[in-house]
């Protein structure tokens, strides 16, 4: 080896080691955040983010134990650092006045970032006041903010996050590639409005693993443009189930394809495995879904495709859904239904559901009474155990 190459190599190795061992940490407490749950720490959090984002090295933004009151936090990219860790040992608390965030759409927003890992932390959005406003029928209630949104970003990991009492959705992933949400713990009351656990749309390569979701709306909701989505090891309940939809609200809409949902449990939920589309014209579609190994305990609608969604009977002029649903597999789904109809395929007259396959489905109604299946405009095949008796 020539001296020149040797020296160059040594420099490269030294630089790599130096960069790795000198990752910098920005502690919000050192930047003025008070862990008392009352003093507004927004500025300290944003200062920590700016430094981490602007770092030329791997950087950590650190939130120690304690409660930190923060308003809207916009963690914008692009960042100079391609490896940012946001490590949270404490709890972030939203302002108790819901008007502060209620019209802002997001509480914490990561936008346009690459290579961000969020580890730990509890987000307490204190949503009860806003839910009360909404259920009182008052007119000026804001929509509410999603607690954690990740948008237009790649390679993001959310590991071990807890979210309690969100105003709106707990976690939303929109316009992203390669996002992993692992070990999330989501909690809100069964009757809290619009508190979806994890919402995914217009994103590819999203994984949701080993998470527990108890909330007032869908545990996981899957919107238009979700592709290559993997959901595994999710415990849902209370909640409205794992739901693809609502789809087909708009005429022009991206489809949902290649979705895997496996090893999931539902306890006392409104739905289990659901696909839901508006009764409106649309070029949307669902193609390639595998629901595998699901256990239902006292679930209102364990398996359901509903293409006649039309809340309030408004704006659904022709009452026919344009969403084309095909290639949906249910394998090893068992447990109990809280209603007699355990399997319901209510598909579009214009675009019947095609290629539904069911293998080893065993759902009973109260105390082993036989449940039933209901099909409209649905075609498919079954194999193995099939309880209730198929309606294809």
240 is catalytic: yes
User: Dihedral of the CA atoms 42, 46, 49, 54 (nearest 10)?
Assistant: -170
- Judged by beta carbon, residue 159 or residue 230, the one nearer ligand NAG is 230
User: What is the rounded distance in angstroms from the CA atom of residue 366 to the CA atom of residue 354?
Assistant: 30
Interaction site with ligand NAG (CB under 6 A):
228-230, 258, 260, 334, 362, 364, 385
Q: Which residues of 129-166 are buried (b: 16+ CB within 10 A; e: fewer)?
A: bbbebbeeeeeebbebbbbbbbbbbbbbbbbbbbbbbb
User: Nearer to ligand NAG by C-beta: 116 or 229?
Assistant: 229
**CB of 360: closest distance to ligand NAG in angstroms?**
8
> Sign of the CA dihedral 183, 217, 104, 246?
positive
Which tokens in the block code for residue 54? 């602007």
> Counting runs of H as helices and runs of E as strands, what totals does the chain give?
4, 29
Query: For residues 76 and 298, which CB has a smaller minimum distance to ligand NAG in the complex?
Result: 298
Q: Are 173 and 150 in contact (CB under 8 A)?
A: yes
Shortest gap between Cβ of 115 and ligand NAG (angstroms)? Answer: 20
We find the least distance from the C-beta atom of residue 256 to ligand NAG, in angstroms, to be 12
By beta-carbon proximity to ligand NAG, the closer residue of 151 and 362 is 362
CA distance 289 to 291: 7
Rounded to whole angstroms, how far apart are CA atoms 283 and 387?
A: 34
What is the nearest approach in angstroms of ligand NAG to the Cβ of residue 215?
23
Q: Which of 170, 240, 308, 334 is catalytic?
A: 240
Closer by beta carbon to ligand NAG, 258 or else 390: 258
Beta strands 106-111; 73-76: pairing state:
parallel
Q: Cβ of residue 204: shortest distance to ligand NAG, in angstroms?
A: 8
> Which two tokens mark 199?
């919402």
Catalytic residues: 240
């Amino acid at each position: 080896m020539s001296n020149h190459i040797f020296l160059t190599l040594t420099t490269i190795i030294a630089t790599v080691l130096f960069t790795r061992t000198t990752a910098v940490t920005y502690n919000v407490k050192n930047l003025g955040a008070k862990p008392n749950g009352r003093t507004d720490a927004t500025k300290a959090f944003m200062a920590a983010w700016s430094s981490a984002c602007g770092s030329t090295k791997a950087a950590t933004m650190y939130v120690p134990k304690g409660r930190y009151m923060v308003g809207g936090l916009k963690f914008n990219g692009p960042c100079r650092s391609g490896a940012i860790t946001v490590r949270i040992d404490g709890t972030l608390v939203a302002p108790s006045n819901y008007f502060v965030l209620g019209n802002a759409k997001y509480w914490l927003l990561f936008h346009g970032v690459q290579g961000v890992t969020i580890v730990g932390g509890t987000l307490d959005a204190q949503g009860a006041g806003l839910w009360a406003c909404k259920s009182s029928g008052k007119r000026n209630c804001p929509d509410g903010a999603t607690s954690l949104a990740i948008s237009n970003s790649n390679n993001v990991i959310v590991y071990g996050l807890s979210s309690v009492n969100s105003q709106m959705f707990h976690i939303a992933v929109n316009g992203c590639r390669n996002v992993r949400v692992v070990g999330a713990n989501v909690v809100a009351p069964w009757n809290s409005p619009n508190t979806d656990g994890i919402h995914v749309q217009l994103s590819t390569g999203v994984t949701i693993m080993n998470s527990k979701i108890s909330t007032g709306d869908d545990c996981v909701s899957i919107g238009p443009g979700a592709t290559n989505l993997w959901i595994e090891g999710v415990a849902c309940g209370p909640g409205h189930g794992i739901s693809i939809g609502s789809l087909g609200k708009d005429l022009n809409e991206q489809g949902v394809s290649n979705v895997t949902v496996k090893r999931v449990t539902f306890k006392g939920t409104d739905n289990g495995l659901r696909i839901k589309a508006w009764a409106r014209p649309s070029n949307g579609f669902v193609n390639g879904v595998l629901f595998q190994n699901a256990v239902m305990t006292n679930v209102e609608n364990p398996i359901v495709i509903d293409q006649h969604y039309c809340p309030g009977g408004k704006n659904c002029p022709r009452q026919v859904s344009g969403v084309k649903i095909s290639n949906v597999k249910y394998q090893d789904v068992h447990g109990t239904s809280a209603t007699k109809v355990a399997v319901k395929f209510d598909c579009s007259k214009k675009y019947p559901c095609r290629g539904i396959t069911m293998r080893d489905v065993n759902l009973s109604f109260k105390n082993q009474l036989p449940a039933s299946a209901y099909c409209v405009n649905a075609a498919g095949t079954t194999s193995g155990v099939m309880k209730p008796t198929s309606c294809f």
